[in-house]
Amino acid sequence: MKRALVAAVALALLVTLGPAGPPASAEAASDYCSGDSLVSRKLSAGTRWQLCWHIDDFKGLVLDKVGFQGTRDAAPIQVLDSIAPVQMQVPYDLGTAEFEDLIGYGFGRYASDMTRAECPGGQIVTTHRAYTDLAGRWVEKDQPVLCVREMSKGLAYRSKWHTGTDQPLVTAQGTVLALSFMSAVGNYEYETSYQLADSGQIDVGMGATGEVNPSIWTDQATEAASLNYGWPIGTGERDYSGSHYHSAVWRVDFGIGGKSDMKVEQSDTTWTGKRGGQSAVLVTRRKTIGKESLLTIADRRQWRVYSPSSRNADGHPRGYDIVFGKNDTYPAHPSLRNALAFTKRKTCEQLPMYNNDVSCAGETTMDYANGETLTDPIAWVNVGFHHIVRDEDQSPMPVHWQGFTLYPHDFSAQSPLTPAARAGRNGFVATENEQARGVTPSQGSTTTLRLARTTIGAGQRATAVVGVRPRDAGQIAAGLLTVKDGGRTLLVSDITKTDHGRTAIRLPVLPAGKHSLTVAYGGSAQVDTSTSAAVVLTVTENP
């Protein structure tokens, strides 16, 4: 697909959406910008968002000095110094094309007119544009580019919990302040979306719609199996549209409480292999990310950015979690393999690839994350979406979303939406309705391991017969089985209800020598953990 580039356009986008509250710090939005560049909106729940914003030629919609005010706060408290999308890399699986729709073309340069159809019930904001068109002529015009509206987000909370007397159901619906901006690049139409919730949550999204690429069809490729690189759309098995990636990266500059002393904490939760009275015992360990780092997603892994010197009414440091949903990182490029990077704030480090600042031109996040001490951290959030085209993508293509959430973590001492009837619930408060509930502990078990043969030749695989017998004959043993050779885990299998307490496991090929094998039963809510006695397996050398 051929795409034409136009000259860089300087866009100034200015809007006011309500009266501003008093600044919470020297870095408050109302101190950073004024007049039409200030956005301040009190939502239906009584909480407020306040921010500055502008349009960048490449990044498109950029938010600056974003602050949130809970119902008990005297003024907005800063959350972010800035946030913006900084990359939209679109490589095709066949290897014949790769587009950089943001850096290469510019979301700001290709800003689309915002219409009432995309902004029902909201405010459409017009900005003055000035640029050189394709014919070399200087053009100036006013263009509607931004939608701002308060939208319903559904249930905010619901509770039937009582405090000793009959009380009505406590429930409410929530809203978000939605900011959206459209950019048309080639056959794709991108919506940059920020949804600022009345609870303090920020949902960051990039929606892609438009049309299937009209020029990349894998059935036209030589020496390639069409189905391996695309999907048939239209009648029969004739036209295979190419599968491709959308790697979207955001640059997030935290400024919690208007401070510059941000810390990054990573939490990892793992199973200890033990069980309590009813459930498994999991332990969470936290560590500070003290150096510039490239990080990967893992089960039960979380990241929190917080300010040690900005504290809520409970005395806890204010912070925000970075929460991922579905994410397909791109394995073929080093700057897109990691879901997250934290680097020291430097003015010239603006784009994760093809950086265009002369002070660090051409550098990538791989260059930024060079092990320096992490102060005033920048988060580079990479959310990938692998798009296998389908029949329903014609035409126009239904929007597909990718993004992440910034989730308040101790930013407020209580939920900023807490109703007056629950204001006293902060920490443990005993009431007449709170009674200690007895917990029935799990019953014990016995696990046994028997080998079909205790001596085998090299290259052969042994079979282990595992039995799990609950102490209470009326219980059923079901759960995980972990087979170890000494301290090394060989495999993890399971035992189910239909196994009736006995199952056979085929072990992997082991090297010659003696192996001390054990199997540990992970337990269940009814049956406690247990580990078998060791059994020696001898693997002989080939004759």
C-beta atoms surrounding 455 within 10 Å: 13
Q: For 493-502, what is the mean pLDDT?
A: 93
Per-residue pLDDT averaged across 179-183, rounded? Answer: 96
Same fold, 29-211+244-387+396-421 and 445-540: no
Q: What pLDDT, on a 0 to 100 scale, did the predictor assign at position 430?
A: 60
The pLDDT score that the predictor gives to residue 14 is 29
Is the pLDDT at 134 greater than 60? The verdict is no
Q: What pLDDT sits at residue 23?
A: 37
On average, the pLDDT of the chain sits at: 88
> Which token pair is 249?
């990266």
Q: Give the residue extent of every domain in the chain.
A: 29-211+244-387+396-421, 445-540
CB-based contact 312:77 (threshold 8 Å): no
Cis peptide before 395 (omega within 30 of 0): yes
Q: Which distant-in-sequence residues (6+ apart) come within 8 Å of 329 by Cβ?
A: 247, 296, 297, 336, 337, 338, 339, 382, 384
> How far is residue 192's CA from residue 182's CA, in Å, rounded to a whole number?
6
- SS3 assignment for 437-491: CCCCCCECEEEEEEECCCEEECCCCCEEEEEEEECCCCCCCCEEEEEEECCEEEE
Rounded Cα gap, residues 499 and 86, in angstroms = 54
> Using 50, 70 and 90 to split pLDDT, how confident is the model at 140?
confident
Residue range 98-104: mean pLDDT, rounded? 92
CATH superfamily of 445-540: Immunoglobulins (2.60.40.10)
By C-alpha distance, which of 344, 155, 206 is closest to 264? 344
CATH architecture, domain 29-211+244-387+396-421: Distorted Sandwich (2.70)
The string of pLDDT tens digits covering residues 301-342 is 999 999 999 999 999 999 999 999 999 999 999 899 999 999
- Whether 22 shows a pLDDT value over 80: the answer reads no
Helix (H) or strand (E) holding 520: strand 513-521
Task: Report d(CA 160, CA 175) in Å as an integer.
Answer: 22
Q: What pLDDT score was predicted for residue 426? A: 87
Over residues 226-254, the pLDDT tens digits come to: 889 999 999 998 899 999 999 999 999 99
First to last CA, the chain: 64
Average of pLDDT values for 263-280? 89
Query: What is residue 127's predicted lDDT score, i.e. its pLDDT?
Result: 78
User: Residue by residue, what is the 3-state secondary structure of 379-392?
Assistant: EEEEEEEEECCCHH
